[in-house]
Structure 1
């Protein structure tokens, strides 16, 4: 709450969502508004997070590199991707200079192609950062090893903050499918099957071969959710037009069914575009259903989005949340 309160006074900027999760030990904060206001609010959120969070004490299911794992700028209306690149680059430089921490750029803001994917920058996570910045063993190449701004060596400040990543990208949907199992055995298998990069399999001669995954533009992994007594396939749908939510959901259901596991529902993390809800809603709705509200309800019910908690379209759909924030 102290982190969120640090930006409540910023004009022309609204906090659209705050979603903490005990299993992932991660909080997703969504803000929107005028570019300069959003950039200032993002800086204050990052600065306060660095003050409040000690990565030496942090554990969680989700991959992460530092106290602020990732801060993406996403163009919504009247803002170009190039402007978001400038915002991300300037913020990364400012955070490095004023907070004395290493910052990386990814996505459209990446300085080279090797740093384009967030998952590449995260390799080794926080636990591998000391070796990464100390010329130790690391899975990174010289192109991805070092930050774009800030210290390139390990010290007490970096040990507390970890590395921070900033970028510019299109809308990404963070979407998790719930598996009725506690150990994530099938969820992990499903994650490896559906993610675009696929999985490595061993051939008869001992050599390994990568088999592509089922779904395009999808990152996925299986995790346990001890607080709920279930597992999830945690996914990033990097292009929800290429892989809609219902396609990912039904693919996971099919794999789970093959292993005798029920899929009671799913979960959205952060906000989702209205178009994505309408596309999935149209899949589950009766053909005679044409009004927007009913199609949204069909998506919520078909995907089981309210299994772990109430799903309020006015808070979780980007267009509705923005409208509500502007009317306050």
Structure 2
């Protein structure tokens, strides 16, 4: 029987200091784990790392990364566009091969327990790993962000973490640890239009507002440019090409115009199928410098990245 493979895509609340992010990535170097991708976003002040391999090894790598992030990131002085509750903000486990979502949820529970035991970082479980129905959606867990959650915990016991005391780590906050299927983090800049237009477009897109199934979206300002920032949680039901077409249509409604796309992390090969044989779909053609060998998951599994050392800085 083929060996199981699980992916983990932890997000860290630091996207400006290469030294810090490199140290966190280095902490994830565990036997049996491959480094597939890592990137930094200064405007969102966030970094995203993708690793894959044997489930227990991947869990250990993620646990160590949370501990290193807690040492190096102080949320009391951290600011960025992206909402966050922790230094290691989200730690999702994703089944890739010969592994079920239920097994990924059990792995998340194991990782969360070790995060709390080793580092004193409280843990909330979300999506398939959620232990309460009101914590399935990440946005509900992260409501109020680090500062708001700190205040809420003092007055509302229903917001206490699943693991840990009734307060956050003083500088590292809490981590949301979960299990889910593939998620595509895809953003579109507006070539014409302002933040108000981006927010209106995002509101129309969001599944929670009656928009497209499995789409989470928000309008943000990145380096002075309006952006529709999206997570597509089920690309098989709602293909990214349909999301791209919807954004283009909505920009016209809101007196705006779609510009370049941006892909954060990796994308499964099945999401890259074009209606035109042999060509990349339009939404990927509009992502500058998109490289299939670097950004398609299956390609990276065959040819992973080298782990960084003291002499290596990320190409961002």
TM-score range, shorter chain: 0.7 to 0.9
Residue 298 of structure 1, CA deviation: 5.4
Q: Choose from 214, 227, 230 the match for 1:235.
A: 230
- Which deviates more, 248-257 or 186-195? 248-257
How does 1:164-203 map onto structure 2 within 5 Å? 164-181=175-192, 183-198=194-209
Contact (CA 8 Å) 2:37, 2:305: kept in 1 or not?
no
Question: 2:214 maps to which residue?
Answer: 217
Aligned CA RMSD, in angstroms, stands at 1.9
Say whether the 8 Å CA contact 2:240–2:283 is kept in structure 1: no
Q: Normalising by structure 2, what TM-score?
A: 0.86
Alignment correspondent of 2:291:
312
Using the TM superposition, give the Cα deviation of residue 132 of structure 1 relative to its aligned residue in structure 2, in angstroms. Answer: 2.1
Correspondence for 2:115: 95
1:325 maps to what in 2? Answer: 304
1:77-156 equivalent positions in 2, closer than 5 A? 77-135=97-155, 142=158, 145-153=159-167
Contact 2:85-2:145 at 8 Å conserved across structures: yes
For the residue of structure 1 that corresponds to 2:248, the secondary structure is helix
The answer for the alignment partner of 1:206 in structure 2 is none
Quote the Cα distance in structure 2 between the aligned partners of 1:69 and 1:7. Answer: 16
Aligned residue pairs: how many? 286
Does the Cα contact within 8 Å between 2:95 and 2:101 map onto a contact in 1? yes
- Partners of 2:257 and 2:121 in 1: how far apart? 44
Summarize the alignment of residues 246-265 of structure 1 with structure 2, pairs less than 5 Å apart. 246-265=241-260
Q: Look at both structures and tell me which one has the larger radius of gyration over its CA atoms.
A: 1
TM-score, length-normalised on structure 1?
Answer: 0.83
Distance in 2, matches of 1:327 and 1:266, equals 27
* Partner Cα distance (1:109, 1:125) in 2: 20
Structure 1 gaps of 5+ residues are: 199-211
Q: Which structure has more RCO (C-alpha within 8 Å, separation ≥ 6)? A: 2
SS class of match (1:234): strand
